[in-house]
Amino acid sequence: MDYPAGRGLSFNIVYYAHSGNQVLALNSASGEARIATPRIPLPLNQVRVTMWYVDLALSLSGLMRVGFTTNLSGTVQWIDTIPTCYDYTYVDLNFSHLSITDTGYLVFAYTNGSSVGSGLVDDLSIFRRSVCTPVSNLRLSGITNSEATLTWSEPSSAVGYHCYIATTNNRANAFDSSFVAVGNASHTFGSLAGNTRYYAWVTADCGSDVSMEATISFVTNPDCGGVRNLQAVSGYRSMALSWDAPSDGEPVTAYSVAYRRSTDTTWLTDTIYDRHYFLYDLTPDTR
């Protein structure tokens, strides 16, 4: 939800909100500020929480804890800690690893490390986590300046997989999404930009349910720049070519030379490891 002004501990703080202009702020001038959810009618180990969070403590040393209780007047069991975030960060919590099957309340508690500070929460969602088993062993291969291949280990319950990629760590901003049939535990993303960080996600589709994401990030290889200052010196039956290396500063392992007569349709090619090349046995007065 996007928190409206004047409800609970929330207020209108336009320039700090992650989306829109409403945000939940836990203000802690001293001690600890807490807020609890309504009772969640699910066992805790079936609950998933997503939100955007940032710490506005002047010392950047605030601490946000997440706890659980079956009684708001009772003891809180602290079950997770959200690391200090210097800018809005997407937080995804699930409690499937816990043996707690009670229903109850989630408690968020913020303490800052300075005299002034707030923990800001936006777009908080609490919902039943998927019971579809996610993919495992997500890995990357074949990274170039324009492609990357994802592979993963398949869970037995899946009927297919959804693959997403984006340039920000937010799946909602994915510019490419693809469905992969079961039995094909890999997918290649193409048309990528060179020297760019990407974030990729894979979810398992179990037909009636979709798993939580497995995610990974990577940086594509730099684009290979073109040669510069190509020069040709021709003789009666020969031609000498020379050039300068690309200006991008990336090391060049080899050059490819291709040539043909204007009347031919087939190119002759060669791979060389220096910045000059000599053509010989050419036909005089021929383009």
Based on the structure, what is the number of domains in the chain? 3
Q: What is the pLDDT of residues 108-139, one digit of tens each?
A: 988 876 666 778 888 888 888 777 888 999 99
Dihedral of CA atoms 142, 143, 149, 151 in degrees, nearest 10, equals 80
> With pLDDT > 70 as the criterion, what percentage of the chain qualifies?
86
Give yes or no: residues 143 and 195 share one domain.
yes
Confidence band for 10, pLDDT divided at 50, 70 and 90: very low
Residue 157 domain-assigned?
A: yes
Q: What is the pLDDT of residues 26-36, one digit of tens each?
A: 776 667 888 88
Region 222-234: mean pLDDT is 79
Residue 231 CB: number of other CB atoms within 10 A?
10
Does 6 have pLDDT greater than 50? no
For 252-272, give one letter per residue: b (16+ CB within 10 A) or e: eeebeeeeeeeeeeeeeeeee
As separate numbers, helices (DSSP H) first and strands (DSSP E) second, the chain gives 0, 21
Residue 51 domain-assigned?
A: yes
**Residue 103 belongs to domain spanning:** 10-128
Give yes or no: residues 74 and 153 share one domain.
no
Q: Residue 205: CB partners within 8 Å, gap ≥ 6? A: 132, 158, 159, 160, 161, 162, 179, 211
Beta strands 186-189 and 176-181: pairing type?
Answer: unpaired
Write the CATH number for 214. 2.60.40.10
Backbone angles phi, psi at 203, to 5 degrees: -120, 145
| CA–CA distance, 173 with 195 (Å, rounded to integer) | 19
